[in-house]
Amino acid sequence: MKKGSRIRFSGIVLFGLVMTLSLMMLPALSEARDIKVGVVDTYSGPAAVYGNDALNGFKLALEEINKQGVLGGKIEFTTRDEKFKVDVALAMAKELVMRENVDVLVGTINSGASLAISDGVAKAEKVPFIVWTAKDEKITGEMGHRYVFSTAENTAMAGKAGGVGLAKKPYKKYWIAGDDYAYGHAIADAAWRNLKALKPDVEKIGESWWKIGEPDLVPYLTSISAAKPDAVIFCTGGASMTNCLKALKATGFAAKTPSWIHTAIDHSVLKPLGAEAPEGVMGTIQYLFYYPETPENKSFVQAFEKAYGNPPGFPAFNAYITAQLIAGAYKKAGTIDKEKFIDAMEGLKVRSPVGGMVEMRACDHQAVYPMYFGTTKKLPQYDFVIATDIVTLTGDQVLPTCDEVLKTRKK
């Protein structure tokens, strides 16, 4: 080619390249694509019932959200089973972020896994991660950061709710017992801290800790009875809690000594026990399908039962709110961008499935909603035991203040 035409040729190629590049770099606004959510949770082992419940709540919310769509596309999701193992959870979270290129990570019931993913994947890869069942207060507390959010009630909230509820009761000598792992001890510390602050004359006369999943709690209960406390704070959950409730009934402990257990009034725990669950046990939880009897709650429960055959539990509640938050934040951000999403999440208020609004607090990325304190009782219209004498504690009453939380992060 002659020199002149070569330059012309190169010029045309260069021009074409520049045009193509500019077209490619046009803002994503013009592209409508689906939002991808990666879910890491436990679908095997004793915690699986909560993983399934959360996923069902999430799916129900998405069905309604996707009818109108978000930013021109739908919200789709993919799940991974971590089998309650932290190393598996980490590997799967990395796979979701690096291979599936999800926009948001969501999960899990395992606190250790949540903390590991929060630090190793969310913070490292700058991908927002919303924890929806794990209750460790460190997640949005001491180990919190810009890329992690929580829609779960954490141990600080549960402990405060318990403390507030118990401070109203006349009991003085307390025994504390529970599952010997981080969650158990965290609930114990939070509950005791708050109770003591509100009612200084309470006294802790002893502690017992059993391995998580311990099947036979009768020896522990008989030895606690021997010490004759006024009341007992049990720090357990899930399958361990069912064992605990069974033992409480079998030994007649529940009838003699009042106990408080966070999530004692959780339906997944009470349902299998049917009419045989112990009565008179106090508990706290953030969602009950039979209370409050608002039209929103009724329709939520109806839709859930129609789709999945059983009423929703608290993980479904948390996950439903998570879906609403994701949709709401993207709509507010106006684009599928991780940083803008995070900015939009802060301070966002979405509708709660029971009516009213839930806020995603900006200072620590913790969702704010009320907790219920109730006592178990068998009522004739249900096959199972439910909570009665329910007291509602608003979000502000149970959450630690922004200052308290931010102080722990500075350490």
Partner 1 sequence: MLKNFSLKSLFACLVLLVILLILPPILPRFYTYIFSSIFVTALLAMSLNMVVGHGGLFQFHHGAFYGVGAYAFALLLYKAHMPMWFGFIVAPVIAAFTGFVIGWFCVRSTSLYFGMLQISLGSLLWAIVFRWYSLTNGDDGIHGVPIPSSISSSSNAYYFILFFFVLCLVVMYLIHRSPFGMTLQAIRDNPARCSAVGINVRRHQLMAIVIATFFAGVAGVLFVVLEKSVFPDLLFWVLSLEIFIMCLLGGWFTFAGPILGAAITVALRTFAGIYTEYWTLILGVLLILLIFFLPEGVMGFFVRKFGKRGGEEDALGRGEHAEG
Partner 2 sequence: MTYDLSAIGSQFFVGLSRSMILFIVTAGLSIVLGVLRVPNVAHGSLYMIGAFSAFSITKLVPGATGFWLALLVAPLVVALVSFIAERALFCHLYQREHLMLLLFTFALSLILGDLVKITWGAEYKSIMAPKFFDGSVSILGASIPRYNFFLLIIGPLVAVGLWLLTNKTKLGKIARAAAVDREMVGAVGINVSWVFAFAFVFGCFMGGLGGALMAPTISITLGMDHNIVIEGFLIVTIGGLGNMWGAMVGSLIFGLTQAFGVLFWPQFAIVFPYTAVVIVLLLRPRGILKSVW
CA distances from residue 181 to 40, 70, 88, 238 in whole angstroms, order as listed: 22, 41, 20, 13
Q: How far apart are CA 138 and CA 174, in angstroms?
A: 26
Shortest CB 156 distance to partner 1, Å: 14
Stretch binding partner 2 (CB under 8 A), from 49-57, 59-67, 298-306, 335-343: 49-57
3-state secondary structure of 98: helix
User: Considering beta carbons, is residue 123 or 378 the nearer one to partner 1?
Assistant: 123
- Binding of partner 1 by 112 (CB under 8 A): yes
Identify the burial level of 167 via C-beta atoms within 10 angstroms of its C-beta, where 0-12 means exposed, 13-18 middle and 19 or more buried.
middle
Going by C-alpha positions, the residue among 172, 313, 151, 293 that lies closest to residue 230 is 172
What is the chain's length? Answer: 411
3-state secondary structure of 262: strand
Q: Which of 11, 72, 215, 347 binds partner 2 (CB under 8 A)?
A: 215
How many Cβ atoms sit within 10 Å of the Cβ of residue 344? 20
Q: How far apart are CA 351 and CA 226, in angstroms?
A: 48
Q: Which of 72, 219, 334, 355 binds partner 2 (CB under 8 A)?
A: 219
Stretch binding partner 2 (CB under 8 A), from 55-63, 237-245, 292-300, 398-406: 237-245
Size of the site for partner 1 (CB under 8 A): 33
- Binding of partner 2 by 172 (CB under 8 A): no
Q: For the chain, what is the radius of gyration of the CA atoms?
A: 24
User: Which secondary structure element, helix H or strand E, spans residue 387, and what is its range?
Assistant: strand 385-393
- Binding of partner 1 by 160 (CB under 8 A): no
Estimate to the nearest angstrom the gap between the alpha carbon of 39 and the chain centroid: 13
Q: Which of 116, 167, 368, 391 binds partner 1 (CB under 8 A)?
A: 116
Q: Which of 56, 111, 151, 376 binds partner 1 (CB under 8 A)?
A: 111
Residue 59: name its binding partner from partner 2, partner 1, none (Cβ under 5 to 8 Å by kind): none
Residue 98: name its binding partner from partner 2, partner 1, none (Cβ under 5 to 8 Å by kind): partner 1
Stretch binding partner 2 (CB under 8 A), from 2-10, 134-142, 270-278, 289-297: 270-278
Residue 243: name its binding partner from partner 1, partner 2, none (Cβ under 5 to 8 Å by kind): partner 2
For the record, the structure tokens of 390 come out as 């329910």
Q: How far apart are CA 411 and CA 406, in angstroms?
A: 9
For the record, the structure tokens of 20 come out as 């193509």
- Binding of partner 2 by 6 (CB under 8 A): no
- Binding of partner 2 by 334 (CB under 8 A): no
Tokens 């504690």 sit on residue: 393
Q: Which of 182, 198, 205, 363 binds partner 1 (CB under 8 A)?
A: 182
Angle of helix 314-333 relative to helix 338-345, nearest 10 degrees?
Answer: 120
Shortest CB 229 distance to partner 2, Å: 11
Using CB under 8 A as the criterion, which residues of the chain lie in contact with partner 2 when the complex forms? 43-46, 48-49, 51-52, 84, 177, 180, 205-211, 213, 215-216, 218-220, 222-223, 225-227, 238-239, 242-243, 246-247, 250-252, 268-269, 271-274, 276
